[in-house]
Amino acid sequence: MFVLFETASGFAVFKLLDDKKLQQSDELFKLFENPKKANKLLHFEHFEKFDDTAEAVNSVTSLLKGKISKQLKKTLGKVNLDDELLAVADPKLGTAIKEKLNINCVSTSAVQDLMSCIRSQISSLIPNWNPQDESNMQLALSHGIGRFKLKFSPEKVDTMIIQAVSLLDDLDKELNNYVMRCKEWYGWHFPELSKIVTDNTSYILTVLKMGMRENASKTDLSEILPEDIEAQVKEMAELSMGTEIAEEDMLNIEHLCRNVLDLQEYRLQLFEYLKNRMMAIAPNLTILVGELVGARLISRAGSLLNLAKHPASTVQILGAEKALFRALKTKHDTPKYGLIYHAQLIGQSNSKLKGKMSRMLASKASLACRVDALGESTGNELGLEHRAKLESRLKMLEEGTMRKISGSGKKKPKFEKFEHKSKLHQYKPAADSTLETSAKKRKVEEVEDAAPTEEPTTSMSPEKKKKKKKKMDE
């Protein structure tokens, strides 16, 4: 019997000199107490070493699938296995070897014990064995197998997206605080400027270039402001009601303005970085909902894989958990959208169609997340296709060009809110009565009413007969 032993460095083949020893599994460990006893039971036949880590990963991934790799086929081809049994660790691999190479294989619990014994004395059984190379190969191989199992790529690290979008939100808050502080601080000197120049960046640049309001008439602001606003600023600078400030105060205000400009520049760089990472990690989701909304969805779920596990109904209201539980508690209408509300497709639809559009977009976005997280392709064809369908659907809903299938097929559909109207059936106690029904009573009354009408006709008939008799007698 031959034994196929798998290591991180390659495949080894041994010949078991006494097959009966394998049946005595309880005493098998005693036969491997030292290298001399191990060499008496096993004879080294061949060792096929891997050339590099890539070859090792390919071989081991084939073993995990129960298939034969090229290296294993090469190893077994160099050993004469005519009419001999081959002991293997994996039963699936034994079945594959039997089908492909027509070699009878054995995989039992005793074989598993034998593999453990060989591993304990591997340095003495294989000549020129290097434990350091084996440990290095095991580390590299474990990383490679981990990437294979999890479909992991170093470029697809969604942790970077979560940190970037969180920092972007923090920068927006800080920029708003700094700009507001700058307007309040400089507003003591020139309060009319904030009403004339409403854009934050233009306001900061104007303050930096102009400085004191007395310099407004001498300063050229044509590169920052339009002509009419520039003339208005210069005019109001002469009529301003602001107080005088010292040069030291102006230096601190200018220093704050420069910090604001630096933060704005860094924010633009961070946004470009986020766009590139989103297109690399989740291209289909980015096409559907945009970079910021997609990044916030991933950050809210924890990772792209967690977002892919969520159903479409959860993706639709992700970010509106407080409103959802409040509505469930007070028995009001649940929210129709959460973070997905800021997507472009929902923003450009009218108010009546936002709920319907958010539901359709959430269903497509959940499919896109699963393709990005678990799919092997890295393209965005699915996202482009779904976005085109959603845009055409939105156009049809807004124009009302849909037609009913039933009826004449020419009427426009009516988009009405569905209201469930339950019918209450009350118990009729009159149905339990054993008396005659009202219909029978009416028949009796009709007969009684009809009787007196016939009496005058019968009473008149004998008088007419008497008159006729008198006439005849005369």
The winner for highest mean pLDDT among 81-90, 149-158, 325-334 is: 325-334
> CA 291, CA 164: separation in Å to the nearest integer?
11
The average pLDDT across 68-76 equals 84
User: Considering the chain, what percentage of its residues have pLDDT values greater than 70?
Assistant: 83
What's the CA gap between 168 and 266, in Å, rounded? 10
pLDDT at residue 460 is higher than 60: no
Residues above pLDDT 90, as percent of the chain: 32
Query: Rounded to an integer, what distance in angstroms lies between the CA atom of residue 11 and that of residue 74?
Result: 10
Q: Which tokens belong to 165? A: 């979008």
Distances (CA, A) of 75 to 5, 82, 198: 11, 15, 77
- pLDDT band for position 25 (50/70/90)? low
Q: Smallest Cα–Cα separation from 161: which of 302, 314, 258? A: 302
- pLDDT score for 94: 84
Q: What pLDDT is attached to residue 404?
A: 47
What number is the average pLDDT over the span 315-331? 90
Residue 287's pLDDT band (boundaries 50, 70, 90)?
Answer: very high
State the chain's mean pLDDT as an integer.
82
CA distance 323 to 303: 23
Between strands 105-106 and 86-87, the pairing is parallel
Cα(274)–Cα(270) distance, rounded to whole angstroms? Answer: 6
* Helix boundaries (H) for 352-413: 354-374, 381-399
Q: Which of 168, 153, 382, 157 is nearest to 296 (CA)?
A: 168
User: Per DSSP, what are the bridge partners of residue 278?
Assistant: none
- Nearest C-alpha neighbor of 42 from the set 67, 76, 12, 79: 12
Cα(147)–Cα(424) distance, integer angstroms: 62
Structure tokens at 252: 């601190």
Element (H, E) at 47: strand 42-49
pLDDT class for 459, splitting at 50, 70, 90? very low
Q: Taking a C-beta distance cutoff of 8 angstroms, is the pair 337, 319 a contact?
A: no
DSSP-assigned letter for residue 197: -
How far is 317 from 335, CA to CA, in rounded Å?
A: 7
Which one-letter DSSP state was computed for residue 397?
H
Single-letter residue type at 388: A
For residue 394, count CB atoms less than 10 angstroms from its CB and return exposed for 0-12, middle for 13-18, buried for 19 or more: buried
Answer whether 185's CB lies under 8 Å from 204's CB.
no
Q: How far is CA 345 from CA 12, 255, 330, 448, in A?
A: 61, 41, 31, 79
pLDDT classification of 407: cutoffs 50, 70, 90: very low
Distance CA 229, CA 226 (A): 6
Q: Which two tokens stand for residue 177?
A: 């605080």
Query: Nearest Cα to 100, choosing from 126, 132, 135, 72?
Result: 72
Q: What is the pLDDT of residues 99-121, one digit of tens each?
A: 888 888 888 888 888 888 888 88
pLDDT at 455: 45
CA 70 vs. chain centroid, Å, equals: 39
Burial readout 336-351 (b: 16 or more C-beta within 10 A, e: otherwise) = bbbbbbebebbeebee
Residue 456's pLDDT band (cuts 50, 70, 90): very low
Q: What residues form DSSP beta bridges with 399?
A: none
The listed range with the strongest mean pLDDT (51-60, 269-278, 455-464) is: 269-278
**Domains within the chain, CATH numbers bracketed:** 2-150 (3.30.420.220), 157-272 (1.10.287.4070), 282-398 (1.10.246.90)
| CB 292, CB 342: distance < 8 Å | yes
Residue 82 tokens, joined = 């005519």
Phi, psi of 320 (to 5 degrees): -120, 40
Tell me what the mean pLDDT of segment 61-69 comes to: 79
**Cβ neighbours of residue 50 closer than 8 Å, sequence gap 6 or more:** 9, 10, 56, 59, 71, 137
The two three-digit tokens of residue 160, written as one number: 């970077």
Banded pLDDT at 188 (limits 50, 70, 90): very high
Question: Is the pLDDT confidence value at 267 over 90?
Answer: yes
pLDDT band at 412 (very low <50, low <70, confident <90, very high): low
Q: Which residue has the tokens 């159903």?
A: 311
Q: Provide φ and ψ at 239, rounded to 5°.
A: -105, 15
Q: Cα separation of 336 and 358, whole Å?
A: 7
Beta pairing partners, 159: none
Q: Which helix (H) or strand (E) holds 17?
A: none
From CA 187, how far away is CA 181, in angstroms rounded?
10
Per-residue confidence band for 416, with pLDDT thresholds at 50, 70 and 90: low
φ/ψ of residue 16, rounded to 5:
-85, 115
- The C-alpha atoms of residue 321 and residue 335 are separated, in whole angstroms, by 9
Q: Is the pLDDT of residue 78 over 90?
A: no
Whose tokens are 């191990």? That residue is 38
